[in-house]
Amino acid sequence: MQLTGNAWKFGDNISTDHIAPGRLFHLRSNLPELAKHVLEDADPEFAARVAPGDFVVGGTNFGLGSSREHAPTIIKLAGVSAVLAKSFARIFFRNAINVGLPVLICDTDQIAAGDRLQIDLGTGTIHNLTQGRILQAPPLPDVMIRLLADGGLAAHVAKHGDLVVE
């Protein structure tokens, strides 16, 4: 699957509090409303200006902090098609796969704010069209490929009536 869009750059250690802050706790059962505030504490302009298909590009340890699955969910709801980072926090990474938000690990220093990117999710190839560079993300673990193929974890369990990943 090919994805094309523009890069929104963020720094290292973007936490789940940046993405879905505790002060908006009361919006957790109203995800479309919460999505209007996505990443607000890291970039107040982002939610209003992100275009469908754009990419969130972070540094190291993206998504650290709480287990709130609302964080990857509202990034997806805001229209973002994938998150790229040098590394991800464990729970965020697992949650992203569960909710069907593609996450790719690559050297994001090679991407500048506003760069146009084309990503092949099948191969993990990231083409930086603006800079004329190719980056390669490592493949996802098999278990995650399987969950993504079924449309996320809940869909996987609904389909098989069980967890069949071993």
Partner 1 sequence: MGLTLAEKILSQRVGREVRAGQIIVCDVDVALTQDGTGPLAVRQLEKIGMEKAARPESTILFIDHAAPSPRKELSNDHMLLRSFAEKTGCRLSDVGEGVCHQIVAEDYAAPGKVIIGADSHTCMAGALAAFATGMGSTDVAMGMALGKTWFRVPETIRIEVNGELPVGVYAKDLILHLVGLLGADGATYKALEFAGETIAAMPMWERLTLANMAVEAGAKVGLIASDAVTQEYLTAQGRPEDYKPLAADSDANYERVIIIDAAKLEPTLAAPHTVDNTYPVTELVGTAIDQVFIGSCTNGRLEDLAIVASIMSGKHVAAKVRCIVVPASRKVFLEALRLDYIETLVEAGAIVLAPGCGPCVGVHEGILGDGEVSLNTSNRNFQGRLGNPQGSIYLGSPAVAAASALTGVITDPREVLGYAAYR
Contact positions vs partner 1 (CB under 8 A): 13, 15, 17-18, 21-23, 25-30, 41, 60-61, 64-70, 87-91, 94-95, 98-99, 141-143, 152-155, 157-158, 162-163, 165-166
* Three-state secondary-structure class, residue 117: strand
CA atoms within 13 A on the CB side of 19: 29
Least distance in angstroms from the C-beta of 129 to partner 1: 30
Q: Which is nearer to partner 1, 90 or 120 (CB)?
A: 90
Q: How far is the CB of 148 from partner 1 (least distance, A)?
A: 13
Q: Least distance from C-beta 28 to partner 1, angstroms? A: 6
Q: What type of residue is 161?
A: G
Q: How far apart are CA 18 and CA 39, in angstroms?
A: 5
CA distances from 9 to 111, 114, 149 (A): 8, 8, 28
Which residues lie across from 15 on neighbouring strands?
64
Q: Which is nearer to partner 1, 6 or 87 (CB)?
A: 87
